[in-house]
């Protein structure tokens, strides 16, 4: 248990350091580029992040399950084929996506769209981010969660900060190019480390023609990943349609602060799914259940300090953003309570895919998206930020309940 605590503590510290590096990177870029060019860079990053989930085609979560399933059954040719197919298909999809983005950017430019150049330059970032998504989960699958954080959380921000300090990232395109190159190098080295961490039998085996991963499973995993991504953005998108920019800005600050309560859950999500998969596919169901309980405990322990501060002094926390942000204090309290519900569910959302319930994973995500959309449409126009927070908390509770209910069935 003490070894587990040390491992979790080290991973949490690295996660926090990565979040700090990301913050410093964005602060330095905002200061160097100015609001207009930083907006272009932010748009390209947001677009590439979303599209990279689609280009990954469900393979990152499939790796978490099938690396251990094939190894437990001694299916070494299938495991070798899995490693090849999981890289090849997403990278082809990313290349096609990049080509489409270049064409779309050119068409939007002719139509006078202000961010057309940002759309076109997203093409430079999409393959690197797709490789990063794959490398991250692949390294977690072979028990290297700390290494999985390095490309996006440490290497790329450090490269951008160094380039900015040297004056080489004074243009947003140059900054994006540096970020993409650093991601590609870091994720490429991460993928190589994944391959060398596979069992010797898998590395020596000739790859099978089929990695034995069902297309329906991959489609469900990809849909679930996109649903989760949309769930994290829907409140701000809909609130922006019905509320003044100041309300949206204050709500955005409250939303970011509430996410601090999920730091423990996100750290657990990088550490425990692989442990659950090893136990489950090794026939040790009791151990898989024990790892799930441990994940819930450490998630809640990690959530407790930031949640307590947010619940006790929401106005004070928001006041650090500026005097106009304190009006979102009720929203911060509501969102923090919702975050605690998600933390209590531990790593249920990642446990479902590794246990073979990809359809339930996707279904729970899109159920929450539907509830969130309906409640946002009903509450946000009249109640503003507080209504958006209530709608989002309800969606999070529905997500956790659906995931835990199916997980309980799966573990019987």
pLDDT (tens digit per residue) in 212-258: 888 889 999 999 988 988 888 788 878 878 888 778 878 888 888 88
What pLDDT does 108 receive?
Answer: 87
What pLDDT does 132 receive?
Answer: 94
Q: CA 175 to CA 234: how far, in whole Å?
A: 28
Asked if residues 250 and 90 have their Cβ atoms less than 8 Å apart, the reply is: no
Asked if residues 235 and 331 have their Cβ atoms less than 8 Å apart, the reply is: no
Q: CA 271 to CA 285: how far, in whole Å?
A: 18
Q: What is the residue-wise DSSP string for 20-41?
A: HHHHHHHHHHHHHHHHHHHHHH
Q: CA 164 to CA 242: how far, in whole Å?
A: 37
> Helices marked H in 198-312 — which ranges?
200-204, 215-231, 234-242, 245-258, 263-281, 285-312
Long-range contacts of 225-228 (CB under 8 A, 24+ apart): 225/53, 225/56, 225/58, 225/60, 225/61, 226/50, 226/53, 226/54, 227/362, 227/365, 227/366, 227/368, 227/369, 228/349, 228/365
> Helices marked H in 115-233 — which ranges?
116-141, 145-149, 156-165, 172-197, 200-204, 215-231
* Pick from 57, 38, 271, 18: nearest CA to 152: 18
Element (DSSP H or E) covering residue 143: none
What pLDDT does 247 receive?
Answer: 81
Between the alpha carbon of residue 81 and those of residues 66, 284, 406, the distances in Å are: 11, 26, 30
What pLDDT does 88 receive?
Answer: 95
What pLDDT does 167 receive?
Answer: 65
The domain spans of the chain are 1-213, 214-412
* Pick from 57, 141, 48, 79: nearest CA to 350: 141
Asked if residues 236 and 255 have their Cβ atoms less than 8 Å apart, the reply is: yes
* Pick from 318, 306, 323: nearest CA to 251: 318
pLDDT tens, the chain, 412 aa long:
566 667 777 777 887 787 778 777 877 777 777 767 777 777 788 788 888 988 999 999 899 889 988 988 889 999 999 999 999 999 999 999 999 999 999 998 888 877 788 889 899 999 999 999 999 999 988 888 888 888 888 888 888 888 777 666 568 888 888 889 999 999 999 999 999 999 899 888 888 888 888 888 999 999 998 898 888 878 887 887 888 877 887 888 888 888 888 888 888 888 888 888 888 888 888 898 888 888 888 888 888 888 999 999 998 888 877 787 888 899 999 999 999 998 888 678 888 888 888 899 999 999 999 999 999 999 999 999 899 999 999 999 999 999 999 988 887 7
Structural tokens at position 252: 């955005």
Q: Does this model's pTM top 0.75?
A: yes
What pLDDT does 293 receive?
Answer: 87
Element (DSSP H or E) covering residue 209: none
What pLDDT does 211 receive?
Answer: 85
Angle (CA) 153-155-158 rounded to 5° is: 95
Asked if residues 300 and 344 have their Cβ atoms less than 8 Å apart, the reply is: yes
Task: Please state the φ and ψ torsions of residue 63, each to the nearest 5 degrees.
Answer: -60, -40
* Pick from 330, 332, 271: nearest CA to 307: 332
What pLDDT does 82 receive?
Answer: 92
* Pick from 272, 268, 267, 298: nearest CA to 280: 272
The label of the residue with tokens 């590609």 reads 184
């Amino acid at each position: 248990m003490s070894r587990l605590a040390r491992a979790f503590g080290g991973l949490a510290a690295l996660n926090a350091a990565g979040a700090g590096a990301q913050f410093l990177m964005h602060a330095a870029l905002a200061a160097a580029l100015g609001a207009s060019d930083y907006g272009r860079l932010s748009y390209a990053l947001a677009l590439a992040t979303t599209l990279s989930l689609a280009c990954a085609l469900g393979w990152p979560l499939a790796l978490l399950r099938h690396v251990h399933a094939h190894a437990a059954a001694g299916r070494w040719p299938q495991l070798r084929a899995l490693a090849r197919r999981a890289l090849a298909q997403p990278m082809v999809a990313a290349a096609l996506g990049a080509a489409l983005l270049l064409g779309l950017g050119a068409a939007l430019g002719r139509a006078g769209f202000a961010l057309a150049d940002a759309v076109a330059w997203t093409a430079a970032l999409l393959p690197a981010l797709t490789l990063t998504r794959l490398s991250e989960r692949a390294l977690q699958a072979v028990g290297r969660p700390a290494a999985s954080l390095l490309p996006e959380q440490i290497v790329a921000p450090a490269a951008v900060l160094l380039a900015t300090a040297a004056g080489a990232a004074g243009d947003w395109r140059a900054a994006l190019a540096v970020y993409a190159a650093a991601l590609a190098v870091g994720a490429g080295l991460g993928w190589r480390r994944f391959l060398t961490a596979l069992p010797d039998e898998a590395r020596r085996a000739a790859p099978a023609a089929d990695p034995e991963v069902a297309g329906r499973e991959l489609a469900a995993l990809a849909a679930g990943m996109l649903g989760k991504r949309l769930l994290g953005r829907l409140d701000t998108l809909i609130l922006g349609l019905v509320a003044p920019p100041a309300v949206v800005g204050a709500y955005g600050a409250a939303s970011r602060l509430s996410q601090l309560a999920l730091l423990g859950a996100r750290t657990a999500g990088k550490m425990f799914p692989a442990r659950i998969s090893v136990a489950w596919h090794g026939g040790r169901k009791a151990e898989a259940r024990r790892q799930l309980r441990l994940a819930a405990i450490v998630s809640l322990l990690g959530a407790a300090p930031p949640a307590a501060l947010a619940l006790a002094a929401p106005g004070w926390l928001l006041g650090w953003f500026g005097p106009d942000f304190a009006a979102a204090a009720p929203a911060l309290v509501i969102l923090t309570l919702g975050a605690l519900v998600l933390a209590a569910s531990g790593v249920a959302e990642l446990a479902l895919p590794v246990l073979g319930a990809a359809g339930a994973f996707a279904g729970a995500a899109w159920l929450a998206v539907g509830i969130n959309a309906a409640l946002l449409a009903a509450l946000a126009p009249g109640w503003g930020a507080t209504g958006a927070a209530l709608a989002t908390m309800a969606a999070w509770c529905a997500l956790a309940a659906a995931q835990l209910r199916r997980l309980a069935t799966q573990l019987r």
